[in-house]
């Protein structure tokens, strides 16, 4: 398998990218070649320092990159040789099986959707973010790719999300719900009610679907209920995701403050350190690696801008697993059944 990574993407690139590449190459024997796209003058010394195997590494040079503050769509036209653009080109040309980027999310989405196009039967791609919950994991989608979708896009997302959770997490028939402000059918916006009606009609049609439909769900259900896929628009999904990230960091900081208040609380903190280590592991976005941009005709995984080498490693793993488990092929097959 061959994967391309934007070596200049992220707050700590290219150092953490090369570090993550090293551990990924050591861990995944089926990773035949890893393409590092970016400034060779910065990448090559790191490749030498970390002793990456020369027979499994290709450096694709460019001195252009999309900065975090720049518009992804505008830079697609302006910076035609940006590292994320050349990374997408490698997928488009069939040189690699998938791409990874931890830089400007808008640039990754724009390049993947425009250059790779969408899968047959899919009109809009969606960013999938895995959230921890009491029953394992809940897939939040869309987490930012499409802030203003149509109701039918949520039908597509229901199919894509269910196949993601089935193929990558082994859930036979994932439970899918639409994010709303109440479980009752009359709750929600005009958009969510229309999407709810479309999915209900699809269920009533008797066609074989890859998911079980729960109807409307509420924000707390992401973490507390047995729901596998939470459907929403990209604006709401991104707000949910960043609110959850901020709350987790805030609570972590507040706990540290309380444990450091006196000698007794410090002792309690030391005794409970293993518990918090397990909790941190359970909620770590770095363990997941990144978010799959699902629905494009290729594999594109988007990492967090502050990704560490460990996160980069797992982002590469997610890209490889998405290829291995034939997520895209199964989505196309499922959409053929639905649209028949």
232-256 pLDDT, tens digit per residue, is 999 999 999 999 988 988 988 998 8
pLDDT exceeds cutoff 80 at 20: yes
Q: Which fold has domain 1-122+295-325?
A: Isopropylmalate Dehydrogenase (3.40.718)
Instruction: Answer yes or no: is pLDDT of 79 > 80.
Output: yes
Which one-letter DSSP state was computed for residue 82?
Answer: B
Cα–chain center distance at 331: 17
Looking at residue 286, its pLDDT comes to 81
Instruction: Report the distance separating Cα 5 and Cα 24, nearest Å.
Output: 12
Mean pLDDT value across the chain:
93
Mean per-residue pLDDT for 55-67? Answer: 93
pTM of the model: 0.91
Confidence (pLDDT) at 195: 96
pLDDT at 75: 77
| Digit-coded pLDDT (tens) for 125-150 | 999 999 999 999 999 999 999 999 99
Q: Please, which pLDDT band fits residue 68 given cuts at 50, 70 and 90? A: confident
What does the radius of gyration of the chain's CA atoms come to, in whole angstroms? 21
Residues of the chain with CATH 3.40.718.10: 1-122+295-325, 127-286
Residue 302 CB-half CA count within 13 A: 27
What does the pLDDT look like over 188-240, one tens digit per residue? 999 999 999 999 999 999 999 999 999 999 999 999 999 999 999 999 999 99
Quote the pLDDT of residue 276: 83
Are the C-beta atoms of 57 and 26 separated by less than 8 Å? Answer: no
Predicted pLDDT at 273: 87
Q: Can you name the CATH fold of 127-286?
A: Isopropylmalate Dehydrogenase (3.40.718)
Check if the beta carbon of residue 38 is closer than 8 Å to that of residue 14. Answer: yes
pLDDT score recorded for residue 99? 96
H-assigned helices in 227-272: 234-259, 263-271
pLDDT at 74 over 80: no
Tens of pLDDT, residue by residue over 285-315, are: 888 888 999 999 999 999 988 889 999 999 9
- Picking from 288, 310, 269, the residue whose alpha carbon sits closest to that of residue 16 is 310
């Amino acid at each position: 398998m061959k994967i391309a990574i934007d070596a200049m993407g992220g707050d700590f690139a290219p150092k953490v990218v090369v570090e993550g590449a090293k551990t990924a190459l050591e861990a995944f024997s089926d990773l035949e070649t890893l393409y590092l796209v970016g400034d060779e003058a910065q990448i090559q010394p790191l490749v030498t320092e970390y002793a990456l195997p020369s027979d499994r590494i290709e450096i694709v040079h460019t001195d252009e990159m999309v900065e975090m503050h720049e518009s992804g769509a505008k830079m697609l036209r302006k910076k035609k040789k940006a590292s994320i653009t050349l990374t997408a080109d490698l997928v488009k040309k069939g040189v690699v099986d998938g791409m990874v980027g931890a830089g400007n999310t808008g640039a990754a989405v724009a390049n993947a959707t425009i250059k790779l196009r969408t899968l047959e039967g899919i009109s809009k791609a969606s960013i999938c973010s895995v959230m921890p919950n009491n029953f394992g994991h809940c897939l939040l989608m869309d987490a930012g790719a499409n802030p203003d979708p149509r109701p039918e896009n949520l039908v597509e997302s229901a199919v894509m999300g269910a196949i993601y959770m089935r193929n990558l997490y082994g859930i036979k028939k994932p439970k899918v719900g639409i994010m709303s402000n109440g479980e009752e059918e009359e709750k929600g916006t005009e958009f969510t009610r229309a999407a709810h009606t479309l999915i209900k009609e699809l269920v009533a049609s008797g066609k074989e679907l890859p998911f079980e439909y729960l109807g409307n769900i509420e924000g707390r259900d992401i973490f507390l209920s047995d729901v596998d896929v939470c459907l929403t628009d990209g604006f709401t999904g991104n707000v949910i995701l960043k609110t959850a990230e901020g709350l987790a960091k805030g609570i972590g900081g507040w706990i540290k403050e309380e444990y450091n208040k006196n000698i007794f609380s410090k002792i309690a903190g030391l005794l409970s350190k293993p518990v918090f280590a397990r909790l941190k592991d359970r909620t770590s976005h770095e363990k997941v690696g990144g978010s799959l941009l699902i629905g494009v005709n290729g594999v594109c995984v988007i990492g967090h801008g502050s990704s560490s080498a460990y996160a980069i490693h797992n982002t590469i793993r997610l890209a490889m697993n998405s290829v291995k488990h034939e997520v895209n092929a199964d989505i196309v097959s499922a959409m053929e059944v639905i649209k028949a």
